[in-house]
Structure 1
Amino acid sequence: MLDKLCKLALSYAFLCSVALLAGPAHAQSEQQIRTELQKKIGANTKIKSVSASPIPGIFEVLVGNDVFYTDAASKYVIQGEIIELASGKNITEQRQADLNRIKWSDLLPANAIKMVRGNGSRQVAIFSDPNCGYCKRLDKSLQQLDNVTIYTYLIPILSADSAQKSKQIWCAADPQKAYVDWMINGITPTGKGDCATPLDKNTAVAKNYGITGTPTLVFVDGSRFPGAVQISDIEKKFSSLK
């Protein structure tokens, strides 16, 4: 705890010193700051926006969905987190979470393998690659969940074999069974995999939202959890959505 407080104090002191240094240039508009910073970092790194942060003289910079900070003179770029000491709120983390939200309506059920347990009242979507070890671990853990609907969107991003297995699973007479057989029971999918699939559409959605790893879970509020998330964390998230 002491180390954390010391780090926070040092970060705060640094931010304050930058803000003081930037004081004379504070009159610059956010657009001017963006233009000046873009010149300095080069055209290859595209700045999406520049806006005021909670700290006077410090501005939030968005590059893609990544959050950085700069001073009003565009002299410094700060990589780190802003934490409100009074509440303990991690402002940067919250901002990042908001930026990473996925519009639930963009996830079309017709493009997913749908699994329903119990009354299916709780919903979650998962982006999965059939050759992903962490996806297999997650799928085994998910067997513990009840009253849930799971939409699995296959995105073959690991290898050419991932694409072949995804096609074989999707084109099976029973895609849900073929998926479970492979991911949980280790039964290799068979068949030609020569039907029309939504794999390209799923990959495009993943790319649009910056999903670069599997598994990635998405909840109805648009929040995402990367990796083989613990069941206890999934249950906690479901509880927060009630």
Structure 2
Amino acid sequence: MAVGATAQALPSEQAEGLRKSIATHSQGKVTAGAITRTPVPGLFQVVSDGEIFYVDATGRYSFVGGSMIDMQQQRDLTAAELDRLHAIPFDRLPLQHSIKEVKGKGTRHVAVFEDPNCPICRVFTKFLDQIEDVTIYRFMYPVIAPQSEALAQAAWCSRDRASAWKTVMAGGQPPQAGAACDTSGLASIMKFGETNRINNTPTVVLASGKRLVGATPPELFMQELEQGGRRSK
């Protein structure tokens, strides 16, 4: 789909007007060079600093890397829609199968799906330990390797599940479980994750339902937790 091959130049007056609109809506952050028509009516190709993006006729809305950007509000409209699409209502989580920890008043709530063989998970779970005024629901989610499943099952069947899982997430080995135990709860977590397309660890679900995947920078995570960590009454 070579848009450039069929693009047509705009009249200079129209192109200059669109350049001014782009500059205004982007608060001067984007300087448009060549502007041409595309095969899509009302959609224009813009060259800026060696990059190509697309704008509508108003110059306010741009399309960059598969996302629609409102340049006036400096907002990724596609990201907001994806957040809604991927949200998981907190009350639908299998909280009864989680390892719950309340720190301080615990007014902010967060759930995390973690795998003991996930390096990012090990770093992130230590970071969670340092946060105050939070209720954490940890879900054993062994999806990376067969060894993960064995560790999760051993921790699940331990007398002190929370302590065993903390040991596992720190890179240690859980104590011997002894007699076999009922692992249907662990299976329920795995089923929930599969149904809700939780494909990576760590995956965090805030009280608002917003999903955060992978390595979220600490400062950004704290902002997200403050904005979306309180459950509605």
| Global fold match (TM > 0.5) | yes
* Residue type at the aligned position of 2:125: D
For residue 144 of structure 1, the aligned residue among 122, 130, 142 is 130
Q: Is the 8 A contact 2:139 2:189 kept in 1?
A: yes
Q: 1:167 to 1:96 in 2, by over 3 A?
A: same
- CA distance in 2 between counterparts of 1:182 and 1:129 reads 9
Secondary structure of the equivalent of 2:38? helix
Q: 1:201 to 1:238 in 2, by over 3 A?
A: same
CA deviation digits over 1:119-170, x for unaligned, max 9? Answer: 2221100011121111111111112111111111111111111111001111
Matches within 5 A, 1:20-169: 20=41, 80-169=66-155
* Residue type at the aligned position of 1:217: V
Secondary structure of the equivalent of 1:92? helix
- CA distance in 1 between counterparts of 2:195 and 2:94 reads 14
- CA distance in 2 between counterparts of 1:143 and 1:192 reads 25
Q: 1:18 to 1:96 in 2, by over 3 A?
A: farther
User: What residue number does 1:5 align with?
Assistant: 30
* Residue type at the aligned position of 1:190: P
- CA distance in 1 between counterparts of 2:188 and 2:84 reads 24
1:19 aligns to 2:75 (yes or no):
no
User: What residue number does 1:219 align with?
Assistant: 206
User: What residue number does 2:169 align with?
Assistant: 183
CA deviation digits over 1:170-211, x for unaligned, max 9? Answer: 111111111112223x33113247311222211222122221
- CA distance in 1 between counterparts of 2:39 and 2:208 reads 36
Q: 1:21 to 1:124 in 2, by over 3 A?
A: closer
1:238 aligns to 2:194 (yes or no):
no
User: What residue number does 1:207 align with?
Assistant: 194
Higher Rg:
2
Gaps of 5+ in 2: 1-25, 44-55, 58-62
* Residue type at the aligned position of 1:225: L
Runs of 4+ that moved beyond 4 A: none
Q: Is the 8 A contact 1:156 1:199 kept in 2?
A: no
When normalised by structure 1's length, the TM-score is 0.67
* Residue type at the aligned position of 2:189: N
Q: CA deviation at 1:228?
A: 3.2
- CA distance in 2 between counterparts of 1:84 and 1:156 reads 39
* Residue type at the aligned position of 1:214: T
* Residue type at the aligned position of 1:141: F
Q: CA deviation at 1:92?
A: 1.1
* Residue type at the aligned position of 2:220: D
- CA distance in 2 between counterparts of 1:5 and 1:195 reads 61
CA deviation digits over 1:80-132, x for unaligned, max 9? Answer: 11112222221111111111111212112211111121122211000111211
Q: Is the 8 A contact 2:159 2:177 kept in 1?
A: no
Q: CA deviation at 1:233?
A: 2.3
Q: Is the 8 A contact 1:142 1:231 kept in 2?
A: no
- CA distance in 1 between counterparts of 2:103 and 2:136 reads 9
Q: Is the 8 A contact 2:156 2:186 kept in 1?
A: no
Q: How many pairs are equivalent?
A: 184
Q: 1:132 to 1:231 in 2, by over 3 A?
A: same
Percent of aligned pairs with the same residue?
28
The Cα RMSD (Å) is 2.9
- CA distance in 2 between counterparts of 1:226 and 1:92 reads 17
